[in-house]
Amino acid sequence: MKQFPLSELLQSLPKQFFASLVDKVAKKMAEGHDIINLGQGNPDQPTPPHIVEAMQKAVANPKYHKYSPFQGYSFLKRAVAKFYEREYGVAIDPEKEVAVLFGGKAGLVEIPQCLANPGDIVLVPDPGYPDYWSGIALARAEMVMMPLRAENQFLPDYDEIPANIAEKAKIMFLNYPNNPTGAIASKEFFEETVSFAAKHGICVVHDFAYGAIGFDGKKPVSFLQAEGAKEIGVEIYTFSKTYNMAGWRVAFAVGNESVIAAINLLQDHLYVSLFGAIQEAAATALLSSQRCVEELVALYESRRNTLIDALRQIGWDVDAPKGSFFAWLPVPNGWTSERFSDYLLEKAHVVVAPGIGFGKHGEGYVRVGLLTSESRLQEAAERIAKLGLF
């Protein structure tokens, strides 16, 4: 059979670093080992029943058996506007400032294709979510990393960005609560971001995937709460984490009217919008009681406390994350993140994600997910303790 060569565009895409980790884990599981997988970011809880019931009812509606409106149903965009007004005090025009997305990842990958030309600069957090890199590669733009360091609370330092880079930059990606570090951002930081972006004509794309998940009584701040944010950027919000709807593939972008129009234009050429029943269930999630979200955050906080306490008890000096469902843990002296990750898998049958997979400045850390029971988190710490590393 003839093998057709990949296009230069596909060949230019970044390699999936974590594919090798998945293969290693699968091999260990096939050997019959009891693996505690803390390396993934897939929510372990089911979608709340009232959202599932809304979907079940909507599936039977013949209206949704036809093509959906290309840019999504107005009822979902109105629900988004009500959600942002209720949760963040931010006014959103549902028809001009909301784009319905096929999951948050789709929007993050689409925006560079909407706004950047070959050779344009895109500023990216390091460490950061690797799928930012994919959209930049598809746009044939150039990626410039913004280091996130512990001494700066894992926030970028805009004074570090050379003036010539800032002037050429078209887009900046941010993500708070942060994957992988678990850091959060303040309204003051976002105001600083608006000032910097406005000065240099940069579009800010704030990935608010973990927007619901803040600990110690602190609600994460929306980028759009900063004065002038809608003038220079958008925020991407997904249902995957807030409502355990990862498999449903539904999200939205809100903010700058021109960016929303660009996303809609690109998606007009790619899709015929989401299945209407999913959109109705999504609207139900936004407009119904948020008790299920409060309970989920409490669950993650309890898991966080269990994990951090257990690791400190075995002598591992770790900081508790302030948001997201990840913990960012320093590796022991003398270890690389990948070697340490491999060692934990091999000797303790515990999976963690090596920090180098999130960028050069992720080296020296591993990412651990809070996506299993407290008893398994405790057991993971006990297994690691037996290795005598701490």
pLDDT digits (tens, 9 = 90+) for 271-303: 988 999 999 999 999 999 999 999 999 999 999
pLDDT bin (cut points 50, 70, 90) of residue 93 is very high
Does the CA dihedral 102-108-110-115 come out positive or negative? positive
* pLDDT of amino acid 289: 96
Domain ranges in the chain with CATH number 3.40.640.10: 49-287
At what angle are helices 291-313 and 374-385 packed, to 10 degrees?
Answer: 20
Q: Which of 6-10, 26-30, 169-173, 268-272 has the highest mean pLDDT?
A: 169-173
Whether 185 contacts 155, CB under 8 Å: yes
Q: Is the pLDDT of residue 172 over 90?
A: yes
8-46+292-385, superfamily in CATH?
Aspartate Aminotransferase, domain 1 (3.90.1150.10)
* pLDDT of amino acid 147: 98
- Smallest CA-to-CA distance from 267 within 64, 106, 135, 140 is with 106
* pLDDT of amino acid 16: 80
Mean pLDDT, to the nearest integer, of 37-66?
95
Whether 42 contacts 179, CB under 8 Å: no
Domain ranges in the chain with CATH number 3.90.1150.10: 8-46+292-385
Q: In degrees, to the nearest 5, what angle opens at C-alpha 41 toward C-alphas 358 and 262?
A: 70
* pLDDT of amino acid 192: 98
Mean pLDDT, to the nearest integer, of 354-363?
96
How far CA 255 is from CA of 58, 99, 208, 305, in Å, comes to 29, 9, 12, 35
* pLDDT of amino acid 24: 85
* pLDDT of amino acid 18: 78
* pLDDT of amino acid 22: 83
* pTM as predicted: 0.96
Is CATH 2.40.50.140 what the domain over 49-287 is classified as, yes or no? no
